[in-house]
Amino acid sequence: MTTLAEDTRVVEQRGHSHAFAEWMFRFRELGIVLALVIVVGATTIDNHLFLSSTSVQQLLSGAAIIALLSIGETIVIVTRNVDLSIGSVLGLSAYASGVLYVHHPHVPLVLVFLLALGIGATCGLVNGLIVTVARVPSLVVTLGTLYIIRGIDGAWAGGNQVNASMLPETFNKIGYGTVAGVPYLGIIAIVAVAIATYAMRTFRTARDFYAIGSDPAAARLAGIPVGARVFLAFVLSGSIAGIAGAFWLSYFGSVDAIAGVGYEFQVIAAVVVGGVAIFGGSGSVLGAALGAVLLNTIYSALVVVNVSSFWSQALAGALLVGAIAFDRLIALRVAPALRTRRRARG
């Protein structure tokens, strides 16, 4: 009897602490939305054109690619790893898609995206294999592949460039077309984020990612195939970066050897600002995507209030460092609070 009573109490406690943690997450996402409202509001007061439909459209499409990339990066960071190679993967797949159109102008759209997906998946596969089979820290592996993939891209592209005129109209339209005023890219990103958010909450495999990130050793003891899951996370991240490369090409219309250089830092900044813990184990795709929108909005706002856009990288860095420090301080605050709650109930 007593054990049963204890069990229910434990379950109850868990329920409460879980609810509390969930409230923290919701609060984080609300916080980003609030920050977004403040940034947009302040900038609009300065310049009312900031909320014009063209400007908002540009904001949405600009943030869409970072938001897409942040889905994959979130999955990897949640498992307590990091993927620094996504910018290079994006560049390589964007150039490959462009070259495919140059050589076969009438190739169907699906094939281009399949190629982009294939390239991304292959890069992710290599990252994942080295990380899980050779058990090398993902930081070092993906720092290496960041330059290897970029080098392959550079060796292949050389000084060449693929222009919008060499791409078919149907493909370019993905980049600038709109439905009822909402850009295609925005819709694609929103749908992708919605699916990923649902998947990360629901599917068992996705919950395994969180378990691994919270405590790899415990996850292993619980029977989770840690290696296979981490491998999958890298393949997913690479695949998403690959597809994002094709979208990148349709958005910018031209591609050369330096497409997407430095995107990894923007994406990691967006993900961390969006509340994904860099220690792994917590955070949501929705938060990461909101982080991407917030960062992109701040960049645009800077231009509107006449701060040189050359400062945007510094801002991304400051937000990244600030967000990690903020999370840590919050965690230090919350931990004792959780403990006292538990004691009070126990």
Partner 1 sequence: MAELDLKPGDQVPSQAPGEVRWRPGLGILVRWETFLLVLLGGTIAFGADVSPYFLQSSNLFYICLNVGEIAIMALPLTLLVVTGEIDLSVASILGLSGVLMAELFKHGWPIWPAMIMAVVLGACLGAVNGFLVTRVGLPSLAVTIGTLTLYRGIAQGILPTDTIGGFPSNLASIGVIPIPHTHLPYSIAFFAVLAAVFGVVLHATPLGRAIFAIGAGQEAAFFAGIRVKRIKFWLFVLSGTLAGFAGVLFSLRFASARYDSGVGMELFVVTVVLLGGISIFGGRGTIAGVVLAVAVLGCLQTALTADLMPAQDQNIVVGTLLVASVIVPNGGDLYRRARARLRSAEARRHAAAAQAESR
CA distances from 343 to 323, 336, 340 (A): 30, 10, 5
Contacts 24+ apart (CB under 8 A), 112-115: 112/171, 112/246, 113/243, 113/246, 115/246
Q: Report if residue 140 touches partner 1, rule: CB under 8 A.
A: yes
Comparing CB distances to partner 1, the nearer of 185 and 257 is 257
Q: Report if residue 265 touches partner 1, rule: CB under 8 A.
A: yes
Q: Which of 41, 105, 151, 181 binds partner 1 (CB under 8 A)?
A: 151
162 φ/ψ sector (left φ>0, alpha ψ -120 to 50, else beta): beta
Dihedral angle computed from the Cα positions of residues 202, 206, 211 and 214, in that order, rounded to the nearest 10 degrees: -110
- Cβ of residue 336: shortest distance to partner 1, in angstroms? 15
Q: Report if residue 192 touches partner 1, rule: CB under 8 A.
A: no
- Cβ of residue 266: shortest distance to partner 1, in angstroms? 8
Rounded Cα distance between 338 and 310, Å, is 43
Q: What is the token pair recorded at 259?
A: 């497409």
Q: Report if residue 298 touches partner 1, rule: CB under 8 A.
A: no
From the list 307, 249, 240, the residue with the least C-alpha distance to 267 is 240
Among residue numbers 203 through 222, which ones bind partner 1 (CB under 8 A)?
A: 216-217, 220-221
Q: Which stretch binds partner 1 (CB under 8 A): 40-48, 106-114, 134-142, 288-296?
A: 134-142
Number of residues counted as binding partner 1 (CB under 8 A): 49
Q: Which stretch binds partner 1 (CB under 8 A): 55-63, 194-202, 233-241, 316-324?
A: 316-324
Report DSSP letters for 141-201, one per residue.
HHHHHHHHHHHHHHHHHTT--B-GGGS-HHHHHHHH-EETTEEHHHHHHHHHHHHHHHHHH
Q: What is the token pair recorded at 229?
A: 């899951």
Binding mask 53-72 for partner 1 (x = CB under 8 A): --------------------
- Cβ of residue 10: shortest distance to partner 1, in angstroms? 25
Comparing CB distances to partner 1, the nearer of 164 and 315 is 315
Q: Which of 257, 259, 276, 298 binds partner 1 (CB under 8 A)?
A: 257
Q: Which of 313, 330, 338, 341 binds partner 1 (CB under 8 A)?
A: 313
Comparing CB distances to partner 1, the nearer of 2 and 308 is 308
255 touches 234 (CB < 8 A) = no
Q: Report if residue 317 touches partner 1, rule: CB under 8 A.
A: yes
- Residue 244 has a CB neighbour count (10 Å cut-off) of 33
Q: Report if residue 278 touches partner 1, rule: CB under 8 A.
A: yes
Rounded Cα distance between 304 and 316, Å, is 17
Q: Which of 31, 279, 304, 341 binds partner 1 (CB under 8 A)?
A: 279
Rounded Cα distance between 133 and 240, Å, is 22
The percent of the chain in helix, strand and coil, each rounded to the nearest 5, is 80, 0, 15
- Residue 17 has a CB neighbour count (10 Å cut-off) of 15
Q: Which of 82, 115, 188, 270 binds partner 1 (CB under 8 A)?
A: 82
Binding mask 321-340 for partner 1 (x = CB under 8 A): x--xx--xx-----------
- Cβ of residue 145: shortest distance to partner 1, in angstroms? 7
162 touches 98 (CB < 8 A) = yes
Q: Report if residue 276 touches partner 1, rule: CB under 8 A.
A: no
Among residue numbers 90 through 119, which ones bind partner 1 (CB under 8 A)?
A: none
Q: Report if residue 144 touches partner 1, rule: CB under 8 A.
A: yes
Residues making contact with partner 1 (CB under 8 A): 82, 84, 130, 133-137, 139-141, 143-148, 150-152, 154-155, 216-217, 220-221, 257, 265, 268-269, 272, 278-279, 308, 310-318, 320-321, 324-325, 328-329
